[in-house]
Amino acid sequence: MVALRVLIPGGSWEDPPGKEGIAHLTAQLLPEGTGRRSAPDIHELVDNLGGRFFVETNGDYTMLGFSVLRGDLARALELMVEFLREPAFPEREFQSRRQRLLGEIASWEDRPGGLAHRAFLRALWGAAGYGHEPRGLKEAVESLRQEDVWEHYRSRIEGRRVLFVAVGDVAPEPLQEKLSGLMQGWEGGGEPGRTLSCPHPAEGSRILVHKDLPQATVLLGQRCVPRDHPDLYALWVMNHVLGGGGFASRLMEEIRSRRGMAYSVSSSLDARMRGGWFRVGFQTQNRNARQALEIALEQAERIRRQPICARELEEAKGFLVGSFPMRLDSFSSTATSLALWELYGLGLDYPQRFAQRVWGVSEEEVLRVAQEHLEPKNWVQVLVGRQDAMGI
């Protein structure tokens, strides 16, 4: 088997105002018709190759993936380059994909978690950049036209920006020669990446979204460091202790185990190319929302005031280092990881450096990064549920 990945930098960060969702829609349409083949012909060809094909977009990139047998590698590579160089964006497929996308947005925003996540991102980033899901916004997607897709393709997808990764039963030299021939003469006429202004959210802003449900969905957090920040390793350790470590975390211990207020509570640190965010999330009965939120804030303040203990430090570092190989447990996961390491400038020796950096984190460093980067008093707070029952 061989796992192929094609990574196009940019992602939904580069969606222009009023066209939120255009990067995602354009990516989904790449394999839906080319100058040589119709969408049904492409679907049949992909099925005949017997591999797994996908397209995904996030804030920083679009990725196409194909896993095939070695004997089908050349054909799969030709097809992926055809998607990139010769898309047709047929009107019929455009309309179908746009309607499907609108359905996905409606389904996502009908869920309390989707409503909370949309409000949380918007509060942190405003309308630009990471302030919307890659799927986009309903009003923006409704207004998109076929010419918008063509404009995005011509300005954002170009040969010199595209990264190819292959992992598995493959010889590098013949593959490089094949790829060079397929890509010859294609650079594209893309524009430089967009520079966006994303004003910081109002300090301590609280957003209440009424939904008649027995449970409240709560998200709280702030902007945090980008992917290349040197404090990221210590912040990962801090996050594991606070809420990222499952039942071993402080938030789980305080909110679930001791008080039974939530089935699950966690924190996460999402570090992207141009910034990131730290987030705490849980669901609880409406009447417990206020107290659970206050406990989460207290625990965040506690980790800023007092050093974590030696046991917490060693457990966090051991988990982070020990679980890292799971990112490389298959050809597919390895190909994806290599593509992202290249995107973020991490290098092929990243697994070794990751372990060294994490093992080198001290209790004092965790305290320092918590004090420098966490501001619980100024966290954005989003609550979705029955406002009259939450007591907020």
Residue 348: is it exposed, middle or buried by C-beta count within 10 angstroms (0-12/13-18/19+)? exposed
Nearest to 97 by CA among 184, 29, 169: 29
Cβ within 8 Å of residue 15, ≥6 positions away: 21, 22, 23, 132, 136, 140
pLDDT score recorded for residue 186: 86
Question: What is the Cα–Cα distance from 365 to 359, expressed in whole angstroms?
Answer: 12
Give the integer Cα–Cα distance in Å for 5 and 315: 34
pLDDT at site 160: 87
**What is d(CA 242, CA 255) in angstroms, rounded to the nearest whole number?**
12
Residues 287-311: pLDDT tens digits?
Answer: 999 999 999 999 999 999 999 999 9
pLDDT at 4 > cutoff 90: yes
Start-end of H helices in the chain:
22-29, 39-49, 73-85, 91-110, 112-125, 138-143, 146-156, 172-183, 232-239, 250-251, 289-305, 310-323, 331-343, 350-359, 363-373, 387-390
Answer yes or no: are the C-beta atoms of 219 and 280 closer than 8 Å: yes
Residue 196 pLDDT more than 70? no
pLDDT band at 200 (very low <50, low <70, confident <90, very high): low
Query: What percentage of residues in the chain have a pLDDT greater than 70?
Result: 95
Polymer length of the chain: 392
**Topology match between the domains 2-183 and 206-390:** yes
pLDDT at 392: 82
> What digits encode the pLDDT tens for the residues 248-285?
999 999 999 999 999 999 999 999 999 999 999 999 99
Q: β-strands 52-57, 206-210: how paired? A: unpaired
pLDDT at 240 over 70: yes
Q: What is the mean pLDDT of residues 179-189?
A: 82
State mean pLDDT over 8-19.
95
What's the topology of domain 2-183?
Answer: Cytochrome Bc1 Complex; Chain A, domain 1 (3.30.830)
> Which pLDDT does position 129 carry in this prediction?
86
Evaluate whether 228 touches 345 at the Cβ level (below 8 Å): yes
Tokens of 45: 């060809």
- Given this model, what pLDDT does residue 81 score? 96
Pick the CATH number of 206-390 from 3.40.640.10, 3.30.830.10, 3.10.310.30, 1.10.10.10: 3.30.830.10
Q: Where are the domains of the chain?
A: 2-183, 206-390
Alpha-carbon dihedral 160, 196, 205, 203, rounded to 10 degrees: 110
| Mean pLDDT confidence for 214-224 | 97
Mean pLDDT of 89-94: 98
Q: What is the mean pLDDT of residues 130-140?
A: 95
**The two three-digit tokens of residue 289, written as one number:** 């929302």
Over residues 343-371, the mean pLDDT reads 97
For residues 304-322, give the mean pLDDT: 98
Question: What is the predicted pLDDT for the residue at 391?
Answer: 82
Q: Identity (one letter) of the amino acid at 317?
A: K
Least trusted range by pLDDT, from 70-79, 216-225, 230-239: 70-79
